[in-house]
Amino acid sequence: MARDHGFHPVRITRVVQETADARTFVLDAPWPYRAGQFVTFRACGVLRSYSMSSSPDTDGALMTTVKRVPGGLVSNWMIDNLGPGDVVEVTRPAGVFCLRETAAPLVAFCGGSGVTPVLSLVKSALATTRRRVRVLVADRDADAIIFRAQLAELSDRHPERLEVHHHLDVLNDYVSEVQVRNFVNVDRHADFYLCGPAPFMELTERALLAHGAGTDQIFVERFGTASESPAGRAPAEDFGEEPPEEEPREEGTVTVVLAGKRRTVPKHAGETLLQSARRAGLAPPFSCEAGNCATCIAQITDGEAKMRVNNALDDDEVADGLVLTCQGEPVSADITVVYED
């Protein structure tokens, strides 16, 4: 398999309190990564992804920044329980919310914890390119701004190339389409990076498209939580589902190989590979179930599948037969997928 998606023990070397409800965890993880990527933690019996706020080009260590989600399981547990010296289980970095080779300006729109991968991209773009970088950072109020000092310091160091605009909802209500258009201004040929709450990203994307940006200029990272799916808090291990009685069968089979077990079930129309694997009585890894986090990745060794959404695998990985099983539906009669041990 092209990538290692197993979990590895990693020591936390430092914790930085960024705001009242956000902390940065500095990890002793010697892996290469690209700015804008994320790692997935196994904690509290579930899997959650967190983007790097560090840049491989400017920071010595890999850092993730976690913001509390009210009522959220893992974000609160990490912030309340993890400290220097603790060991966490983490995957190697993954994700495609990365810089591409271009001289075009980088214009980013981020909200709340969405600033995390954007900071990583900004640091790398400033350090490794001559591109102009402009960021609109939306937050509820001034106390909620994560990385305010870091962004201000970067602006001081790169006054000609970096512009950071802070938008505060308490002063100006939510960001509007007009504000997005005004911020873009003449930079219609920029690469646009979007990360924040779903309604914020929808509005921003709509405004950019209406302003003449092409879909190939817009890069999005969706933090879509597992709780948005019915399986939200299902444990990472030990997941089994009874087949729905009325599920329409199709000609063909789905074979799933996981942790030395090989199971074959008849194909059901409209069912994802992840659902088939659960129906087969297996407990495959998954997290966001929205095609964002790559936790459910597997290798197709026979047959073909089409993904409904793919925000995590690049073209080469898809060509190599990797699939996000939460989004992959078989298009061949028979298919075999193998999860990495």
Ligand X SMILES: Cc1cc2nc3c(=O)[nH]c(=O)nc-3n(C[C@H](O)[C@H](O)[C@H](O)COP(=O)(O)OP(=O)(O)OC[C@H]3O[C@@H](n4cnc5c(N)ncnc54)[C@H](O)[C@@H]3O)c2cc1C
Name the residues that contact ligand X, by CB under 6 A.
38, 48-51, 65-67, 69-76, 113, 116, 221, 223, 225-227, 232-233, 288, 292-293
At closest approach, how far in Å is the CB of 118 from ligand X?
Answer: 10
Q: In the bound complex, what is the minimum distance in angstroms from residue 25's beta carbon to ligand X?
A: 10
Q: Which 8-state DSSP code applies to residue 216?
A: G
Q: Which is closer to ligand X, CB of 98 or CB of 280?
A: 98
AA identity, residue 96: V
C-beta of 44: minimal distance to ligand X in Å? 7
Residue with tokens 């087949």: 243
CB 50, min distance to ligand X, A: 4
> With helix as H, strand as E and coil as C, how does 24-54 read?
EEEECCCCCCCCCCEEEEEECCEEEEEEECC
Residue from 43, 117, 109 nearest 295 by CA: 43
Q: Considering beta carbons, is residue 77 or 174 the nearer one to ligand X? A: 77
**Distance (Å, rounded) from C-alpha 277 to C-alpha 255?**
8
- The CB-of-142 to ligand X minimum distance in angstroms stands at 19
**Closest distance of CB 254 from ligand X, Å:** 25
Rg (the chain; Cα; Å): 21
Task: State the nearest-atom distance from the C-beta of 40 to ligand X, in Å.
Answer: 8
DSSP run (H or E) holding 234:
none
- List, edge to edge, every strand of the sheet that includes 218-221: 162-168, 133-139, 106-111, 191-195, 218-221
**275 versus 292: smaller Cβ distance to ligand X:** 292
Which residue has 């920029």 as its token pair? 190
The residues that bridge with 26 in the sheet, in sequence order, are 14, 63
Give 14 or 263: the residue with its C-beta nearer to ligand X: 14
Residues 164 and 324: their CA atoms lie apart, in Å, by 35
Residue reference for tokens 């950072």: 137
Comparison of 81 and 172: residue with beta carbon closer to ligand X: 81
Longest CA–CA separation in the chain, Å: 63
Sheet holding 249-258, edge to edge: 261-268, 249-258, 334-338, 297-302, 322-324
Cβ of residue 112: shortest distance to ligand X, in angstroms?
Answer: 8
Residue placing its CB nearer to ligand X in the complex, 72 or 252: 72
CA-CA distance, 187 to 171, in Å (whole number)? 26
How far, in Å, CA of 228 to CA of 98, rounded? 25
Least Å distance between CB 337 and ligand X? 21
What is the sign, positive or negative, of the torsion defined by CA atoms of 223, 102, 125, 167?
Answer: negative
Cβ proximity to ligand X: between 41 and 183 the closer is 41
Task: Report residue 302 as tokens.
Answer: 């026979």
**257 or 294: CB nearest ligand X:** 294
- Beta carbon nearer to ligand X, 206 or 233: 233
